[in-house]
Amino acid sequence: MNQVSYTKRNCTDQQKIETFLVQERNGVLGMVSGIFPYAVPVNYVWHNGAVYFHGMGSGKKEEILSQNPFVCFTIYKEQSTVTDPVPCHADTAYISVMIFGKAEKVTDPEEATEALQKVLDKFMPSYYSHPLTSTLIENYRSSMDGNAVSVYRVTPQEMTAKENSVESEKLMPVETR
């Protein structure tokens, strides 16, 4: 894993990183679109060493990824503000992971179904009484444009993790934030 430039904040605890990726719910998908970057927040799951996300099968994200599939996927969580008697030393307690790779459209119906089931299990646990089937996924169409749902996989080619872990007594009390 590449190191961050401020090595004091480099997180190398693989179990902590894995737990963080599994637990967090949203990430920011950064893409290259012409001369401007395009970044969009998405729900995701971390499964089998990859990020999976989905979309409606059309739109700007789909268009950009079809032209340039190289992405940066960022997951972060701010824990609190770190207090300090010196204002310039105030800081933020956080953890973040950046994944660099290629967003590949999942074409295997079984893999797509498994990824979407993981999304349901994460965001709506025990809500549906029956698991998804590949037939349902293949036949599902967006109500906006009639396109089939797209599932993407980003397998990390590079990954960095950063954290600023601080003792609780140095954190700003929740009620004052």
Note whether residue 157 is domain-resident: yes
Note whether residue 115 is domain-resident: no
pLDDT at 169 over 80: no
Backbone angles phi, psi at 60, to 5 degrees: -60, -45
Q: Whole-number mean pLDDT of the chain?
A: 84
- Among 64-68, 72-76, 173-177, the range scoring the smallest mean pLDDT is 173-177
104 burial class (0-12, 13-18, 19+ CB within 10 angstroms)?
middle
Note whether residue 1 is domain-resident: no
On whether the CB atoms of residues 43 and 131 are closer than 8 A, the answer is no
Backbone angles phi, psi at 123, to 5 degrees: -95, -20
Over the Cα atoms of the chain, what is R_g? 19
* Domain range for 30: 7-107+149-168
Average pLDDT over residues 69-82: 88
CA dist., res. 81 & res. 68, Å (int): 37
pLDDT in tens, 87-128: 777 777 788 999 999 999 999 989 998 999 999 899 988 888
Note whether residue 37 is domain-resident: yes
pLDDT at 175 over 50: yes
pLDDT at residue number 142: 47
pLDDT at 3 over 90: no
pLDDT at residue number 155: 95
Note whether residue 120 is domain-resident: no
Note whether residue 131 is domain-resident: no
CATH number at residue 60: 2.30.110.10
Note whether residue 26 is domain-resident: yes
The candidate with the shortest Cα–Cα distance to 103, out of 85, 120, 115, 90, is 115
Question: H/E element holding 118?
Answer: helix 109-123
The rounded Cα 54 to chain-centroid distance in angstroms is 11
The candidate with the shortest Cα–Cα distance to 118, out of 17, 21, 31, is 21
Structural domain count, the chain? 1
